[in-house]
């Protein structure tokens, strides 16, 4: 059968000749939706089995259909299948080939379904499984961060607000902040999977079907919890694609923030971390350079995923129910975002695992900028009973004095400090070093090494059941 004749037959004789070249180009989606071939064949196998079990088609036809579909699957996997733009999409390409292989029985496969519910189930299956892969990738990244946090639970570094040194923290504590972020991303992925775990197959074009089909059977055969409950919503819904992009955008934002910090930390001015050669490049003209290109690309690719989310939101915002061809624009965005996010997470996992920590540089920077000033104010409140605002004022004067002498707070003498408040005792020096500062922050979720280790234990246990 020629492509032109097959195309016309698929349209049921509506057109006397094939569409014009421009219409063919704008209408065809086989260039990208061929990625759904496995899901399309899987859905058709489940549909054919259900039709036979329900007495809608014969067992003999079902066997022919199953044999033909499995043959097509092997052809595509072997790279032997000839895709045609004239047949528009993966569904028509598979069905035309099936007709070539088994003859009239192929025409019975489309009983009680439409391309509308067919593409909806294919795409939902693909997104659901991609999210499962994303979950595993996030777990690997969280594991890498937990390992790094465990190694450096007591490594002192400056904590920042406004990118200004604020209070000493530990590098382990800083890593655990990203564990919390990526942990929420992981739960969002799991939640999204639960919400999309419904099969639209059997909704047909938009109104359901008069054939006595068993939608619960096909839903379970495809690994869904249950069938969708409204046929109109089933074919017009793309929430699952939007949610995938939204979850991806949030995760990418977290990846970008960590990437930005790696870029900053790896500069000679900071020198906190050193990336391995696997995740760096040199300069074509400056031999001394070691550029954090992998981190920079992770940072940049976030915009790509965000753009896909905005693009699909814009496509969907004005569509009346139920199906419109506009929805064909959903797949390229999701496919590209999925590949991009997979690469970003993998790159970040590698960078976190491989990067070397310069504990000495971190320790030195932790003491700069009078980072223990808050500890002095807290000590004044706790030991001398000063109201915090008064303690804040005394501490400000202490910082000004130390700054005028170009020394740290811990280098001021007891007499210097008592000139600011006579109730200050020698015990104050126990809180004025970055090490003692972090050790004192034992509140739940604080930066004390003991608390960091407790949170690492919690997350390792939680990750086992994630």
User: Which positions are catalytic?
Assistant: 162, 283
CA angle, residues 456, 263, 309, in degrees to nearest 5: 80
Nearest CA to 241 out of 137, 139, 326, 114 is that of: 326
| Matching residue, tokens 């760096």 | 280
Q: Using an 8 Å Cβ cutoff, are 211 and 112 in contact?
A: yes
Query: What is the sign, positive or negative, of the torsion defined by CA atoms of 20, 22, 23, 28?
Result: positive
| Matching residue, tokens 């990437």 | 259
DSSP string, 198-256: EE-TT-TTTT--SS---HHHHHHHTT-SEE-S-HHHHHH--HHHHHHHHHHHHHHHHHH
Coil, strand or helix: which one is 123? helix
Q: Using an 8 Å Cβ cutoff, are 172 and 152 in contact?
A: yes
| Matching residue, tokens 């655990």 | 176
Angle at which helices 171-195 and 115-151 cross, to 10°: 160
Which phi and psi (to 5°) does residue 161 adopt? -130, 140
Which distant-in-sequence residues (6+ apart) come within 8 Å of 338 by Cβ?
130, 134, 244, 248
C-alpha–C-alpha distance, residues 399 and 322, integer Å: 67
Tokens at 32, concatenated: 């990208």
Q: Using an 8 Å Cβ cutoff, are 43 and 121 in contact?
A: yes
| Matching residue, tokens 């090494």 | 449
| Matching residue, tokens 């690997």 | 140
| Matching residue, tokens 């491989």 | 354
**What would you report as the CA-atom Rg of the chain, rounded to the nearest whole angstrom?**
31
Q: Using an 8 Å Cβ cutoff, are 372 and 433 in contact?
A: yes
C-alpha–C-alpha distance, residues 268 and 141, integer Å: 26
Tokens at 329, concatenated: 């624009």
């Amino acid at each position: 059968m020629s492509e032109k004749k097959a195309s016309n037959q698929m349209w049921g004789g509506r057109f006397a000749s094939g569409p014009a070249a421009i219409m063919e180009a704008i209408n065809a989606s086989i260039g990208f939706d061929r990625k759904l071939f496995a899901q399309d064949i899987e859905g058709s196998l489940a549909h054919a089995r259900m039709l036979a079990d329900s007495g809608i088609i014969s067992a003999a036809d079902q066997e022919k259909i199953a044999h033909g579909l499995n043959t097509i699957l092997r052809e595509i996997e072997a790279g032997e299948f000839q895709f045609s733009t004239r047949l528009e999409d993966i569904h028509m390409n598979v069905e035309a080939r099936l007709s070539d292989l088994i003859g009239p029985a192929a025409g019975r496969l489309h009983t009680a379904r439409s391309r509308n519910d067919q593409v909806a189930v294919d795409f939902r299956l693909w997104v659901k499984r991609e999210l499962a892969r994303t979950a595993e990738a996030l777990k690997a990244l969280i594991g890498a961060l937990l390992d790094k946090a465990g190694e450096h639970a007591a490594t002192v570094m400056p904590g920042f607000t406004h990118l200004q040194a604020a209070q000493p923290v530990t590098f382990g504590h800083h890593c655990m902040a990203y564990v919390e972020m990526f942990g929420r991303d992981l739960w969002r992925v799991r939640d999204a999977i639960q919400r999309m775990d419904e099969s639209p197959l059997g909704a047909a074009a938009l109104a359901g079907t008069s054939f006595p089909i068993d939608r619960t059977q096909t839903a379970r055969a495809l690994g869904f919890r249950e069938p969708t409950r409204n046929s109109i919503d089933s074919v017009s819904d793309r929430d699952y694609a939007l949610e995938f992009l939204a979850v991806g955008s949030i995760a990418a934002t977290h990846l970008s923030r960590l990437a930005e910090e790696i870029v900053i930390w790896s500069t000679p001015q900071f020198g906190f971390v050193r990336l391995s050669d696997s995740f760096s490049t040199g300069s074509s003209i400056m031999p001394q350079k070691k550029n954090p290109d992998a981190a920079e690309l992770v940072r940049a690719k976030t915009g790509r995923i965000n753009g896909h989310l905005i693009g699909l939101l814009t496509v969907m915002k004005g569509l009346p129910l139920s199906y419109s061809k506009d929805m064909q624009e959903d797949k390229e965005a999701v496919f590209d975002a999925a590949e991009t996010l997979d690469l970003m997470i993998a790159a970040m996992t590698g960078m976190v695992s491989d990067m070397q920590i310069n504990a000495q540089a971190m320790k030195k920077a932790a003491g700069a900028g009078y980072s223990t000033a808050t500890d002095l104010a807290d000590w004044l409140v706790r030991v001398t009973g000063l109201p915090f605002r008064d303690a804040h004022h005394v501490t400000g004067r202490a910082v000004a004095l130390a700054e005028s002498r170009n020394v740290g707070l811990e280098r001021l003498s007891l007499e210097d400090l008592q000139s600011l408040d006579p109730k200050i005792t020698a015990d104050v020096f126990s809180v004025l070093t970055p090490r003692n500062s972090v050790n004192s922050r034992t509140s739940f979720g604080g930066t004390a090494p003991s608390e960091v280790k407790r949170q690492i234990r919690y997350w390792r246990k939680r990750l086992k059941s994630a």
